[in-house]
Structure 1
């Protein structure tokens, strides 16, 4: 029975962030089809931020109507909604409509919002439910949560990507000479399987999570613990805070309410000066702004000039680096502010290189060379890995300080993500500061 519960807890964790992570790793394929093209990631960053309405509503319900909202009912609803959204995405992801005189991916955006709503809301419902079980099963749940980002990345690598090649084509000139004019156009080789199959795979993973939760919810009550044996507050979801910056705040609010009024357990009283706290919260704002808003909005401009393969690898490997950095942070913790500050500077350096290449699009440095492709992929990999580690460790520091510190951490993270997304959206979509190009027809000096 213990092994079965471990498997169920891991399967339940698969539904945490599988949808949002799956969308990001599939972008290299769908940007070549949808009308927004290279601007598509900037739309997604804003949509995901809007989806934080879900955890906000759950938190408000807990505050205003304590005891009225049942976590298991919400979980059933959001996982079922996630399965339906993935299936709808498989059929309608490429449907477009005319809005304000231009084609837009309205179906993709609407479904993506509901899909993001599922993943964002999971951060304030999954963990409170798992805290009814012994701590060893919560650890297994974290493993499944990490796999929710790792598995889509691996599947995307197996899917491959339409590698571009330049093809000569002829067409008869529009004159009376009948002469043929030769043009060069970009042609993408098909992937090993289509985006529709990939979205059905995401639906299957969400179904596994729903089935695992159903089984866990029907376990005998002997596998639940009393309040005094619940998981300590220092144990918290690590990877759930990666794509939903408000996860730490909201999740802690729910956990505190589950303990009863006036019975919150004392946390470790780590003391920091005002300057240290200011620095810590600055790290929270900056890291979340960079990883959830600024850089994801321009990843296409940063990678696509090197080819679709470079973009595909950078998106997939970054998705893998995310849970990997969380796992490292769980077992190898370094709370030194000097170390975390240095790591932030290093990650910012990688991010600055990525932003610079986006600004130089469609003619970045070392374009057309294997070295350039390798550097941009590694830069995105290390950018994601280093800043994810900082994000997790800062959350651990503030979680051990006090409950209020963690609440402010969530608020600062949400503010950073929102500012980053709203800053980049007009720069990309209104002022057109970043230029797209064609793999074959762009002439670079």
Structure 2
């Protein structure tokens, strides 16, 4: 390394750190969603309603997001110039502890009013969701620190946060028996009719939990390892010299600071050498500074956004995330399980995997286009509408007895994830290339989570108060009486 430039090996190491950090940003929540069918099959008391229950802590977690935004506003004039960095340290640590506790408390039961509930599980989920929400906002601000070319790698890591848990769940499904109703014992029954007797072979049935290649405990141990890796990688990204050399020049001079906590532990007396560098930076005209901070490539040039364009992109963030997480997530158990537990169990991780592939797909050829944002959003909305209709018609969805029905619901869920996420990647790319990218990325993420919170409350009322949706699994129980056939 010469003149403050990293070698190829160092750059590759920084890329690896960025991917690991990105992979932990949504790892825990994506992992929990992928594991929900397994937990329901193993006897989670809330059954398919758990998806709507899980979203309620998300609304509570939004309060923490608001607190984070307030901190940013009030700390702008203080020496803590990058509060998101301190937040990331704290929340990745909390996320690591929460996933560790899930290993031991995922199946605990607490009786309230005589009914079993997964209270300990829900408490841990609250912290997991809060971590994901805050990390989504803080990592959005952190994106502005990295050089533009690292945004692709960060988005790739965020895509891996869904792909890896989904693949692990598919492996989990690969082993064991998925039968939930098995023969208990068989006996012969003779019935006398007139002068003759009829013999019947009768079988009594009992419900059993399906078998998997490994249990939820091992799966949550995997999530814990990934979250711990995310925490360690961020420490490295924010403190290792080779990583800090890959920061884009910042007007607040953060890329020159020696403190790795965004000014939290920085003394008010800046060292003379550091101050000299800051003076040189601030003397560079803004337009020239921007030009120097970007390669001579039109793809990386900052572009001013009008107020209407900013409002449009903010609105897309609200609607996109609101549909994807606020509406679809609470009803996935009603929509997918309507075609059988096997379809539900495989579709959920497939949805996470394919939806996450939208990010690396976008990175193959990033496009600065508002038309791409709109068209992918419309295609995602059409797919989402079909999923909602199927959920509303459960437990008797269209083509429920045909293969085409299963194919359609799988394609619809995958399409909703892919197109909505591609739209998200598109407008994030546009916001990243604006002069006020840090502010826009943080605010768009916060507004998106506001949309999720509002629609989550709405869907919770539909599912649990008005009982609009009816779960398919509740209709399929083992026969209470023995079944007999004439022998």
**TM bucket normalised to smaller:** 0.7 to 0.9
Structure 1 pair 394–366 and aligned structure 2 pair: CA distance change class (3 A): same
Provide, for residues 67-109 of structure 1, a one-character-per-residue CA deviation record: whole Å limited to 9, x for no partner: 3475554333322222221121011011121234432211111
307-316 vs 366-375, greater mean Cα deviation: 366-375
Q: Name the structure 2 match of 1:419.
A: 454
Give the secondary-structure state (helix, strand or coil) at the position aligned to 1:328: helix
Equivalent-residue separation in structure 2 for 1:371 and 1:184 (angstroms): 31
Deviation at 1:298, TM superposition (A): 0.7
Q: 1:352 to 1:170 in 2, by over 3 A?
A: farther
Residue 324 (1) aligns with residue 357 (2): yes
Q: Deviation per CA, 1:293-351, whole angstroms, max 9, x where unpaired? A: 11111110111122222112221111112321122233434565555444333322221
Do the aligned partners of residues 117 and 224 (structure 1) sit closer, same or farther apart at CA in structure 2, a change above 3 Å counting? same
Matching residue of 2:335: 302
Native 8 Å contact 1:134 1:223 kept in 2:
no
Cα 1:124–1:364, aligned 2, differ >3 Å: closer, same or farther? closer
Alpha-carbon contact 2:136-2:445 (below 8 Å) kept: no
Are 1:82 and 2:95 matched, yes or no?
Answer: yes
**TM-score, normalised on structure 1?**
0.79
Find the aligned partners of 1:130 and 1:342 in 2 and give their Cα distance.
25
Question: Aligned match of 2:66 in 33, 56, 68?
Answer: 56
Pairwise CA RMSD of aligned residues?
A: 3.6
Name the SS for the 1:98 alignment partner: strand
Match of 1:377 among 380, 402, 410: 410
Residue ranges of structure 1 left out of the alignment (5+ in a row)? 173-178, 232-258
| Matched residues, number | 407
- Is the 1:184–1:441 Cα contact (8 Å) retained in structure 2? no
Equivalent in the alignment of 2:40: 31
1:43 and 1:132 map into 2 onto residues whose CA distance is 36
Residues 134 and 230 in structure 1, CA contact (< 8 A), matched pair in contact too: no
- SS state at 1:94 partner: coil
Paired residues for 1:335-350 under 5 Å: 337=370, 340-350=373-383
Name 1:366's counterpart in structure 2.
Answer: 399
Alpha-carbon distance between aligned partners in 1 of 2:402 and 2:395, rounded to the nearest angstrom? 14
Change (3 A) 1:41 1:135: same
Paired residues of 2:52 and 2:329 also in contact (CA < 8 A): yes
Larger Rg: 2
Please list every run of 5 or more consecutive structure 2 residues that lacks an aligned counterpart in the other structure: 1-8, 188-199, 253-280, 291-301, 480-487
CA distance in 2, matches of 1:333, 1:409: 19
Pick one of 346, 351, 354 that aligns with 1:313.
346
CA contact (8 A) 1:166 1:187 kept: yes
Counterpart for residue 195 of structure 2: none
Residue in 1 that maps onto 2:421: 388
Give the C-alpha shift of residue 22 in structure 1: 0.4
Using structure 2 for the length normalisation, give the TM-score: 0.73
Spell out, residue by residue over 1:417-443, the C-alpha distance to the aligned partner (whole angstroms, 9 max, x if none): 122111110111111111123364499
Match of 2:229 among 208, 231, 251: 208
For the 8 Å contact 1:132–1:230, the answer to whether it is kept is: no
Relative to structure 1, is the Cα distance of residues 419 and 181 closer, same or farther in structure 2, using a 3 angstrom cutoff?
farther
| Alignment CA distance shift 1:399-1:360 (3 Å) | same
